[in-house]
Structure 1
Amino acid sequence: MGTGSKVFYAIGTFLLLMGVFYILATAWVGDDAYLFGIEWVGSVGLVLATGLSFMMAVYLDFTERRMDVVPEDWEEAEIEDGAGVLGFFSPHSIWPLAMAGAVFFLGLGIAFWQLWLVAIGAVLLVWTTTQLNMQYSIPREKH
């Protein structure tokens, strides 16, 4: 079990304990404003956060079992052991900024419940995401 999965298992366990404590504490107070004496917003939030944390922990656990020992988990590793290509990152792409603008319009539409703005934001988000994914598949002269 790698470091990442241990961290998320610990976070999930903490959230589980806090969720149980929160549900019992709000049920004990028993105010009439709550259904069955439980404060539902915080309870649901803690239960969902616990579930998401355990989902991430299981994913990282499965992923880390298939990998070799990474320098982060090796006690005698040197800084040079982690050197190398970490991935390809597009140096001058405009599409992440365009995607942020599309998410902005989508968020404004949801916040003010303007369905025409939600539709424009959704179409722009699909278009910009497609352009981001296809920017190295389309020849340079077609841009």
Structure 2
Amino acid sequence: MRTEAFLFGGVAAFFLVTGVGYGWWSDLEPAGTAALAVAFLMSSLICFFFTQNYRRKGARPEDDRQGEISDRSGPIDFFPPHSPYPVITGFGAAVSAVGIVYGLWLFLIGFGIITAGVGGLVFQYAHRAEAADCR
């Protein structure tokens, strides 16, 4: 994940330099400056994620130049078979999108539904690792 962290770090640096330059020469024109600032923040978030993953898990088998295909064998990850939370999150996104048109109150309700759905996705199997360690 180190390579990906460097890649997105470079993308974030590009958007930072471009955004500062654009803001300087356009006298802080709001639309372009905001778009470049959001692009910088999003790429920085992805860079942070990859950096933390690399620090926590270390190098992957595919990062080793002398690695074999069999080094990556075994289960890749856990994917839950039945979860209601993606549907809840999608419904909340739809309600929020309609709330943008009809009013802030509906948007806030949709945002609350999204928060519940994402929270459920994140914490649905939070104790799974602890149960595996007890075996």
TM-score interval for Structure 1 and Structure 2 normalised by the shorter chain: 0.5 to 0.7
Structure 1 residues 129 and 21, CA gap change in structure 2 (3 angstroms): closer
Does residue 1:70 correspond to 2:60, yes or no? yes
Q: Aligned equivalents of 1:126 and 1:48: distance in 2?
A: 21
Structure with higher Rg: it is 1
Give the structure 2 partner of residue 42 of structure 1: 32
Does residue 1:84 correspond to 2:74, yes or no? yes
Residue 39 of structure 1 and its aligned partner are, at CA, apart by: 1.0
Structure 1 residues 69 and 125, CA gap change in structure 2 (3 angstroms): closer
The residue type equivalent to 1:6 in the other structure is F
Give the structure 2 partner of residue 121 of structure 1: 110
Q: Secondary structure at the match of 2:14?
A: helix
Q: Aligned equivalents of 2:16 and 2:118: distance in 1?
A: 36
Q: Aligned equivalents of 2:44 and 2:116: distance in 1?
A: 33
Structure 1 residues 128 and 62, CA gap change in structure 2 (3 angstroms): closer
User: What are structure 1's unaligned runs of at least 5 residues?
Assistant: 27-36, 138-143
TM-score for both structures, normalised by structure 2: 0.68
Sequence identity of aligned pairs in percent? 27
TM-score for both structures, normalised by structure 1: 0.65
Give the counterpart of 2:102 among 99, 102, 112.
112
The residue type equivalent to 2:110 in the other structure is G
What's the Cα RMSD here? 3.2
Greater alpha carbon shift after TM alignment, 89-98 vs 100-109 = 89-98
Q: Secondary structure at the match of 2:101?
A: helix
